[in-house]
Structure 1
């Protein structure tokens, strides 16, 4: 056995160990869960008001330019060669940049300017349930089983409860188009992007696709935000470190999650995705002082339903 084969075999053994899989998956979910509080804190550190759409887009664009560079660097280190997309993969990168970065995060950043981190973390999990509908009826990747249908219904019930706060109507529960509505659109764009990644990953390295689509999407958003008059004002010494951390949220989580999917059955990894909304709620409660909302009976029930729905959809038979 040559040294490259031995190294590859050793990596596979490490990344397939259950404790490593669980710890790494929870770490990724913690990173993703910290996105909502990090963005809301970023609005304060860069002096971005709720109605300042151009600056929000510019803020997101800067984050994803850095994230794209990080993913390309991390992926190149893991692959032991510089990641360059194939010529035929450019169209895949353009599609992903559109849905996974530009559309998703324009709505995601808008939502967090008009809703709480707790609510945003739970509602964003709707992407897991939208993806089932898209995979079954649009992309035709899989069939709708009783188990997946049950998980989807339970999950959407949790999202509905979170949006309405136990009320029979959206409006009475504090629903707003700019807040909760935008977060649902962000979740839907994320689901579309996830299906496209599954479609394209057989033709190009998923890490390469993620890195370059982050970078391209970030450039487009930065240009658009700046052209619209957006600006970033550094009002604290923590502004730049926060921006770098936010870039690492995407770069680190996507890269590590990709490694886990490479060496393990998909269901073994994705079943741990239920931790994502849980960490989002916990971190929002801690860093955004939203403990009262996080501990409300409706939030707790909604969180349980959403997490249970994700678990049921992704668990093995």
Structure 2
């Protein structure tokens, strides 16, 4: 019987799970937008958005921890060192990067935010090159990253793409958020080597969510208008976060960071397509199809070894 590690290194399994994670994260784009409308959160109400995110991630973390306990995993009894590590991971991967991202998004356009957030894959590949001896940047991997990034540019073509400017509070904060997420993901990979992934992900989501919740409340944020529909949407966002982060952490544990990070380019593609679908717009445009082809080409270049491709 194959071990868990062997299962999660099979190319077809990696492809299926990584794509599913990106599809779930992509679906959060229209879901969050609808959530803001249902809960009455204004566009410039950053404290309200932090409270909304806090509820989402606390629920996601508690859900994973409940599953961990139900399946007999060691969710409690952590020593001070583990608690400190999980707190650092939660503050960086969930809370601090989220704050930078949403502050940045308030000072730039959604198009620029989508493009610059895709730099997460570049940062992950570069950081992995210097940290892991078996995850070096090759010409093929660099070409794959550039091809995938070209797909992100194409999907945003015609929406003010050429109208580019750079400010610290706007585009700068988006890039900082991408770097923090990349570094935190690599740190999480290190922690997962001697910690159950479900327990690790549950705690980091819950801790990060608590930080966001209290930060939002401290600056005057509130969350009201709880209805069956808005509550169901919040629960959906929590479920997708717990599922996507949990599966993604498993992939990072057993695979090179560069091979998994390239799939991040799918998130804005799915996000754009699903947003168009739920807004009754056409998704069968040439730019969307070309973008998907480019991203898939980039994934293939990074994921398939030269020997296998021959």
> TM-score band, normalised by the shorter chain?
0.7 to 0.9
Matches within 5 A, 1:79-228: 80-84=72-76, 85-110=78-103, 115-116=109-110, 123-137=116-130, 139-141=131-133, 142-160=135-153, 165=158, 168=162, 170-171=164-165, 182-228=173-219
Q: Is the 8 A contact 2:35 2:234 kept in 1?
A: yes
Q: CA deviation at 1:128?
A: 1.6
- Map Cα deviations across residues 233-268 of structure 1 (whole Å, 9 max, x no partner): 216431111111111111112233445667x7569x
Q: CA deviation at 1:144?
A: 1.7
Counterpart of 1:38 (choices 17, 31, 35) is 31
Q: Is the 8 A contact 1:56 1:225 kept in 2?
A: yes
Between 1:68-77 and 1:120-129, the stretch displaced more is 120-129
Q: Is the 8 A contact 2:121 2:265 kept in 1?
A: no
**Inter-partner Cα distance in structure 2 for 1:224 and 1:214:** 15
What residue is the counterpart of 2:57 in the other structure?
64
**Inter-partner Cα distance in structure 2 for 1:130 and 1:33:** 20
Give the number of equivalent residue pairs.
Answer: 301
What residue is the counterpart of 2:304 in the other structure?
315
Q: CA deviation at 1:14?
A: 8.1
**Inter-partner Cα distance in structure 1 for 2:6 and 2:102:** 39
Counterpart of 1:295 (choices 275, 285, 307) is 285
Compared CA separation, residues 168 and 108, structure 1 to 2 (3 A): closer
SS of equivalent residue, structure 1 residue 200: helix
- Map Cα deviations across residues 68-119 of structure 1 (whole Å, 9 max, x no partner): 10121223344x2342344321222122112211122223444666644x77
Compared CA separation, residues 239 and 126, structure 1 to 2 (3 A): same
Compared CA separation, residues 231 and 94, structure 1 to 2 (3 A): same
**Inter-partner Cα distance in structure 2 for 1:249 and 1:179:** 27
- In structure 1, stretches of 5+ residues that fail to align are 1-7
- Map Cα deviations across residues 2-28 of structure 1 (whole Å, 9 max, x no partner): xxxxxx869789878887665544433
SS of equivalent residue, structure 1 residue 34: helix
Matches within 5 A, 1:21-36: 23-36=16-29
Compared CA separation, residues 91 and 13, structure 1 to 2 (3 A): closer
In angstroms, what is the RMSD of aligned CA positions? 3.6
SS of equivalent residue, structure 2 residue 228: coil
Q: Is the 8 A contact 2:120 2:264 kept in 1?
A: no
Q: Is the 8 A contact 1:63 1:246 kept in 2?
A: yes
What TM-score, normalized to structure 2?
0.79
**Inter-partner Cα distance in structure 2 for 1:178 and 1:50:** 16
- In structure 2, stretches of 5+ residues that fail to align are none
**Inter-partner Cα distance in structure 1 for 2:223 and 2:152:** 33
